[in-house]
Amino acid sequence: MSNLYRLFMQRLILLIMLLFFSETNCFADTIPEFSTPDPVSIASLNYEVLQHTLPIYENAVSHPWATIASDAALKPGKKNVAVLALRERLKATSDLQPENDTGLMLFDPYLTEAVKHFQFTHGLDADGIVGSSTLYELNIPPEQRLMQIRVNMDRWAKLAHELGNRYILINIPAYRLELVDNGQRVLTMRAVVGKPERPTPEIISTVTRLVLNPYWNVPKRIAQRDIIPKVIENPDYLTQLNIKIFDRQEVDATEIYPSEIDWNQALDNGFPYHLRQEPGEQNALGLVKFEFQNSNDIYLHDTPAKDLFDKDRRAFSSGCIRLERAFDLADYLMDSDPKWNDEMVYDILNQGKTKYIKVAKPTKVIITYLTTWVDDQGNLQFRDDLYGLDGVSQPVY
By C-alpha distance, which of 188, 207, 186, 216 is closest to 317? 216
CB 319 within 8 A of CB 200: yes
Which of 90, 115, 140 corresponds to the end of one domain?
140
Q: How far is CA 58 from CA 14, 143, 149, 205, 372, in A?
A: 21, 8, 11, 37, 16
d(CA 249, CA 234): 24
CB atoms within 10 A of CB 351: 12
Active site residues: 301, 320
CATH code for position 124:
1.10.101
- Number of domain units in the chain: 2
Residue 131 resides in a domain? yes
Residue 248 resides in a domain? yes
- For residue 332, the model assigns a pLDDT of 97
User: pLDDT tens for residues 128-172?
Assistant: 999 999 999 999 999 999 999 999 999 999 998 888 889 999 999
Residue 171: strand, helix, or coil: strand
Per the document, the length of the chain is: 397
- For residue 44, the model assigns a pLDDT of 87
Sign of CA dihedral 48, 173, 117, 328: positive
- For residue 377, the model assigns a pLDDT of 86
Residue 387 resides in a domain? no
Residue 179 resides in a domain? no
Residue 362 resides in a domain? no
Residue 155: strand, helix, or coil: helix
- For residue 42, the model assigns a pLDDT of 83
User: pLDDT tens for residues 256-270?
Assistant: 999 999 999 999 989
Going by the DSSP 8-state scheme, the letter that residue 106 receives in this structure is B
What is the domain range of residue 250? 216-278
Which of 140, 168, 189 corresponds to the end of one domain?
140
Residue 156 resides in a domain? no
- For residue 131, the model assigns a pLDDT of 93
By C-alpha distance, which of 80, 44, 145 is closest to 393? 145
Residue 193 resides in a domain? no
- For residue 393, the model assigns a pLDDT of 53
pTM, two decimals, is: 0.84
CB 148 within 8 A of CB 370: no
Q: How far is CA 154 from CA 29, 191, 281, 364, 389, in A?
A: 26, 24, 42, 21, 13
Which of 262, 278, 294 corresponds to the end of one domain?
278
By C-alpha distance, which of 151, 300, 322, 311 is closest to 211? 300
CB 367 within 8 A of CB 298: yes
CB 204 within 8 A of CB 222: no
Per-residue pLDDT of the chain (397 residues; tens, 9 = 90+): 334 334 434 444 454 444 444 444 443 333 333 344 465 678 888 999 999 999 989 999 998 888 898 777 899 999 999 999 999 999 999 899 999 999 899 999 999 999 999 999 999 999 999 999 999 999 999 999 999 999 999 999 999 888 888 999 999 999 999 999 988 899 999 999 999 999 999 999 999 999 999 999 999 999 999 999 999 999 999 999 999 999 988 888 999 999 999 999 999 989 999 999 999 989 999 999 999 999 999 999 999 999 999 998 999 999 999 999 999 999 999 999 999 999 999 999 999 999 999 999 999 999 999 999 998 888 999 999 999 999 755 544 4
